[in-house]
Structure 1
Amino acid sequence: MDSYEGQARMAADRATEMFGEENQVTAIGEGLGAIAYALLEVASAIRESTEARRGH
């Protein structure tokens, strides 16, 4: 995990240098939104799987 954290920090720093802090914040927000959406999809799949097992 530490390796990924370091890579993420370096990428964020590069984005700030290239595009400014405002764009970094926007990119982080969009990334967090994508993660939240993916987690909702996983939760939905787990729920469907659980319901299917209970129904059989």
Structure 2
Amino acid sequence: MWSSLLNLIGNIWADETGTVVIEYAMLAMTIAMAIVGVLHVMADKLGDMLMNTANKFAGQ
């Protein structure tokens, strides 16, 4: 793990064009968007399940 991190830092430090930083930023944004999307879907499904459970206990 540490060698990968040091390799990443070395690549960023040695990059003069900025493409490595842009690539890693795009990768990080893609991962973040995927996580947010999954959390959004999970929260929506959880809300539906809780509402169904509440309706069952309320007798509706």
TM-score bucket (shorter structure): 0.5 to 0.7
Alignment of 1:25-40 (within 5 A): 25-40=25-40
After TM superposition, the score normalised by the length of structure 1 is 0.65
Shift of 1:21: 1.3
Q: For 1:2-56, what per-residue CA distance to the aligned partner results, in whole angstroms no more than 9, with x for missing partners?
A: xxxx58xx47x28x84x61110000000100000001101101110010110111
Q: Any gaps of 5 or more consecutive residues in structure 1?
A: 1-5
Aligned-pair identity in percent equals 9
Distance 1:32 1:23 in 2: 14
After TM superposition, the score normalised by the length of structure 2 is 0.61
Indicate the RMSD between aligned Cα atoms, in angstroms: 2.6
Match of 1:20 in 2: 20
Q: Which runs of structure 1 show a deviation greater than 2 angstroms over 4 or more consecutive aligned residues?
A: none
Larger Rg: 2
Q: Any gaps of 5 or more consecutive residues in structure 2?
A: 12-18
